[in-house]
Chain A
Amino acid sequence: MNYFFFFNQIIYIYMKKLNTYCIALCLLFLLSAFNRNIGYAQNITKPVSEMTKDDVLKLSYDDLLSLPFEDVLKLSSIVGVSADQLLKMILNKNVTTASKKQETVFDSPLSTTVLSKEEIEMSGATCIEELFRLVPGMIVRQESNGNYDIHIRGNDNIPPDNFSYFATNTLTLVMIDNRIVYNYINGGTFWETLPIAIGDIERIDIIRGPSSALYGANAVTGVINIITKNPESTDLKVNANLMGGTTNTKTADLSISKNFKKFGIIASGNYDNRDRFQNTFYCLRSGKYEVDTSVVSVFGYKYYRDGSAFPNNDMAKDKYGANLFLNYDFNEKLKFNLAGGTQGSQAQMVFFENLATPMSVRTSSTNYLDFKGKIYGFNTQVSYLFGKQDLCVGQYKPIIGYDLNTLNANIDYEFNYRDLTIRPGFSYQSCAYDDSKRVKELQKEDPLRQGLLNGKQEINSLALNLRVDYLLFDKLRFIAAVRGDKYNVPDDYYFSYQFVSSYKISDDHMVRAVYSKANRSAFIGNSYANFKNPLGAQGIVGIDPSSNYYIKADNYYQYYIGNKELKLANQNMFELGIRDKITKRVQTDFEFFYSITKDFDALFGGKSKYTVVDSVIPSTTTIHVTIQDSLVYKNIAIESKQIGFTGSVNVSVMDNLLLKVFGTIQRSDLSNYAPVPDTKPDSLISKENSWTPTYYGGFSATYQPFKKVIVYADLYTYGAQTYSRYVSPFKEKGTTHIDTKYIVNTKISYKVWKENTVYINVRNLFGDKQKEFAFSDDIGALYLVGLQLSF
């Protein structure tokens, strides 16, 4: 027993001491563990007797159905009874998001990862956000139970030392079935507002690198496209997943589906409710975690009103969603999909500013309709989202509550001539946000309350795009995609592009190079903020240098002002990649990337206007003034240069044991950085972006010891980070350090009957409570039990 604990202790110490190079060493170890063994060509033209199991798994149904029975028998014996679903899952997945056409992940010209429904189900992830810990090149920090901060590669918290919402990811475009689910009030994705849940997902395509040329604005660091399931069975199928556990965590999703050959239908619903791991809040003034009644604003005022809805001491996340998916496949050339749904949510995490604590509650209630049609060579999609949101519930002013309407329409046409594909397209987007109704409502109770916009505002864009894909000699592929957007805000044209070349040395080896540019869109808040904040008398605010009289502010107004002329943040990236099937059991994927991101914007102090409202009264030697102070959105000179490497190795150690190891090492440098708002241009400095960890990655293992049992374990880790936020006048209290953390999860499933499973699921197995995000909650372990039903 002592030896056992001694051994454990060594493991524990070793894990603690893992440094920047640990992931690279793991990759090298795995590479060296397997001899390099160039595989054979893999296609149907190869004699069946020479095929490997990997070859067989690559064959489509059409291939298999074209073979005589004796060949099918041989292939069956090659595969063995372990038709090896697990191996197939990681080595033979299809992806469509990388180039808008179906291809395997191995052939994808971009940095691509696909999470299949089998991996998703086995992983035990309790929500969609958590799944990204299984993806190479992603930084995933949990802020409170079930609420996450998610980035592709980095470029987070730029500029540093500003408001906390600049730490959120505004550079990644998230879609559900190609329908954009982006937040245009200030950029980014409100993950809890997605109407779907894990049970709805067929797969998730993740593309790393600028992809605006294919998907438009905001696909700057990459694209996440969540593909939902299609009804497969002609029987009425019911699937349900129910899970519950510690910290009052309860999730449920249910779907009913049926396929009538040409017509299919799925109805689904989901629910997710969780408590926080703690009930205190970080107080920006004291620099400590306090109970709600002790939290005061940076100006010393008691911030939270008695009996109001905020903060919520217990609630971390509370969401529901319901969806209906219909599809009608008349034939291969005429296919239609219609989806609609609704969601309601509230989440408490570090997000929108208030002057007391970075934690706030945001609520959302939205509905969507999404139509897709494939009509001969035309592909068309029209989607509409409407509803209301409040990003900082209970905040006195500005009110960040609004009604929203977003409309997206795309149409493109695919020409195919031999190995040449040309795909021209047209897109339109309109996003309207209106807070007038909400503000008027609240002003009835208190006329001093003000909204961020105080009206209805809109951003829109028209775009033309063209994609050319040419395959030469079946090995060399050239892709050029260009897109031009005309925005109303800023009133300007933006061009994005993607030039890709890949060369398949053999069926087992591929190299590729990418040069691309993408831009972010304008945001409603940054463009149209129009907040006038009357702060009343401020007393003595200074001394007039010419007369030495005191200056007394009888009235003080603070303005937040948007800017419709802001240049849009953009990134240029160069990337090299190499993929290998080293042996039939080992696949590697390495990518080297270098990017420059610039034209960020931020809220900074503008000019202050003093108006003398009273003559000098000699006896008091005081000048009475009205001050109109403004904070204005401005472009800033800061540039972020990132260089990095991401590697992943997939190993089928045995037929029933799969390992995935992945990691990223990167460095991000900021230049032309203004450490304080009034820094003069010649005093701008360079510094490392300390909020993007130097390394991040993980591994997962799937093992099926018996037919009915699946054991799954994964580890996610990241290096130390330092976050800094502007908390005038308490700057030192706005800086926080996050240590290296190892998060281990495991799920053990037992198939009781057919596909009906019971499972135990533990998240953060070691119970390391360390915070993963600045000023957020401790993150404890979750112990869950669940039931998966399928009949």
Chain B
Amino acid sequence: MKTMRKPIFLILLLILIKANLAQAQEEKFKALFLYNYAKNIEWTSTSGDFVIGVLGSSPIIDELNIIAEKMKVGTQAIVIKKHNSLDGAEKCNIFYLPSNKTANLSSLLAKVKGKKVLIVSDSPGTIKDGSCINFILQNGKLTFEISKTNIEKQGLKVTANLLSLGIKVN
């Protein structure tokens, strides 16, 4: 056993040297993106809190809470709500589906369709399934797809600036 420990360690070192793949957390920027989406959508109601809902536990909640403490959307205080189910999703201004909750998209759409909720997803292909904005990775960088049609179906208007910054779909 003792003679095996040195080779094991050496193998570990070799693994270290062969590294070339980049992966890391991007939740902070996703949260910043969500905040900027909020600023670039024309909301019809500007009373009460501005609610961002997140389905399930996600590290983005912590990041969003930091922003919520510092910023407002117009005059509205930002409130971050974690949802364990889709109940109450229609009361949110933005509803974020983390990648592991993509399966809930069709149910979500059925529930909030036309109710002025901006749906943001995090999985390839979801724009075609009805999401308004979808985070994607392009050449190792975080960016987003955006659908003017889907946003308008939700009863919202998007600024030209936001449309120009994302990858337009539809």
Contact = CB atoms under 8 A, between A and B. Distances in A.
Contacts of A703: 15-16, 19
Contacts of B22: 80-82, 654-656
Contact of B23 (A65, A70, A81): A81
A791 interface: yes
Interface string A231-246: 0111100000000000
Nearest to A713: B12
A69 B21 contact: no
Given A81-B23, A655-B22, A69 B40 contact: yes
Given A65-B35, A713-B13, A705 B19 contact: yes
Interface in A67-84: 69-70, 72-73, 75-77, 79-84
B66 interface: yes
A746 B57 contact: no
A293 to B, nearest CB: 32
B7 interface: yes
B24 A704 contact: yes
B1 to A, nearest CB: 8
B69 A261 contact: yes
Contact of A791 (B6, B57, B142): B57
Interface in A600-656: 653-656
Interface string A53-92: 0000000011011000110110111011111111000000
A706 B165 contact: no
B25 interface: yes
Interface string B151-170: 00000000001100100000
In this complex, the interface size class of chain B, counting residues with CB under 8 Å from chain A, is: 35 or more
A79 B6 contact: no
B62 A85 contact: no
B143 A77 contact: yes
Contact of A744 (B9, B32, B80): B9
Contacts of A5: 7
A40 interface: no
A12 interface: yes
A232 B69 CA distance: 12
A656 B23 contact: yes
Interface in B92-120: none
B6 A8 contact: yes
A12 B65 CA distance: 51
Contact of B32 (A72, A653, A791): A72
B26 interface: yes
Contacts of A711: 12, 15-16
Interface string A1-34: 0001101100110000000000000000000000
Contacts of A781: 5
B36 A83 contact: no
Given A77-B141, A85-B24, A746-B12, A62 B19 contact: no
A264 B27 CA distance: 23
A785 to B, nearest CB: 16
B33 A72 contact: yes
A575 B107 CA distance: 65
B56 to A, nearest CB: 9
Chain A contact residues, majority secondary structure:
mixed
B91 interface: no
Contacts of B40: 69
B6 A80 contact: no
A64 B32 contact: yes
A84 B23 CA distance: 8
B13 A83 contact: no
Nearest to B40: A69
B32 A80 contact: no
Interface string A260-301: 010000000000000000000000000000000000000000
Contacts of B161: 69-70
B61 interface: yes
Contacts of B86: none
B24 A83 contact: yes
Contact of B24 (A7, A8, A81, A235): A81
A75 B40 CA distance: 19
B135 to A, nearest CB: 10
Contacts of A655: 22, 24
A355 interface: no
Q: Give chain A's interface residue range (CB within 8 Å of chain B).
A: 35 or more
A86 B24 contact: yes
Contacts of B47: none
A488 to B, nearest CB: 47
Contact of B80 (A70, A234, A656, A755): A234
Contacts of A232: 62, 65
Contacts of A707: 23
Given A707-B23, A713-B12, A76 B29 contact: yes
B39 interface: yes
B26 to A, nearest CB: 5
B109 to A, nearest CB: 25
Interface in B66-98: 66-67, 69-71, 80, 82
Contact of B7 (A8, A657, A713): A8
A482 B143 CA distance: 53
Interface string A749-791: 0000011000000000111000000000000010000000001
A211 B22 CA distance: 41
A4 B7 contact: yes
B142 A77 contact: yes
Contacts of B33: 69, 72-73, 76
Contacts of A86: 24
A701 interface: yes
Most buried by B among A81, A705, A746: A81
A75 B9 CA distance: 38
Contacts of A65: 32, 35, 67, 70-71
B3 to A, nearest CB: 8
Given A64-B32, A705-B15, A84 B142 contact: no
Nearest to B28: A83
Interface string A85-107: 11000000000000000000000
A705 B21 contact: yes
Contacts of A654: 19-20, 22
Contacts of B29: 72, 75-76, 79, 83
Nearest to A703: B16
Interface string B33-48: 1011001100000000
A309 B95 CA distance: 62
Contacts of B66: 61
A754 B39 contact: no
Contacts of A713: 9, 12-13, 16
Interface in A124-158: none
A11 B24 contact: no
Nearest to B6: A8
B23 A766 contact: no
A65 B67 CA distance: 8
B24 A82 contact: yes
Nearest to B80: A234
Interface of A: 4-5, 7-8, 11-12, 61-62, 64-65, 69-70, 72-73, 75-77, 79-86, 232-235, 259, 261, 653-657, 701, 703-707, 711, 713, 744, 746, 754-755, 765-767, 781, 791
27 contacts: A8-B7, A61-B66, A62-B70, A65-B71, A76-B33, A80-B141, A80-B142, A81-B23, A81-B140, A83-B25, A83-B26, A83-B29, A86-B24, A232-B62, A233-B65, A234-B65, A235-B57, A261-B69, A655-B22, A656-B21, A703-B16, A703-B19, A707-B23, A754-B59, A765-B5, A766-B2, A766-B6
Q: Which 9 A-B pairs have the closest CB atoms?
A: A82-B24, A69-B36, A82-B22, A655-B22, A707-B23, A77-B141, A76-B29, A657-B19, A703-B16
Given A7-B10, A73-B165, A81-B22, 16 more contacts: A64-B32, A69-B40, A69-B161, A69-B162, A70-B161, A76-B32, A76-B33, A76-B143, A80-B141, A81-B24, A233-B62, A701-B13, A705-B21, A746-B9, A765-B5, A765-B8
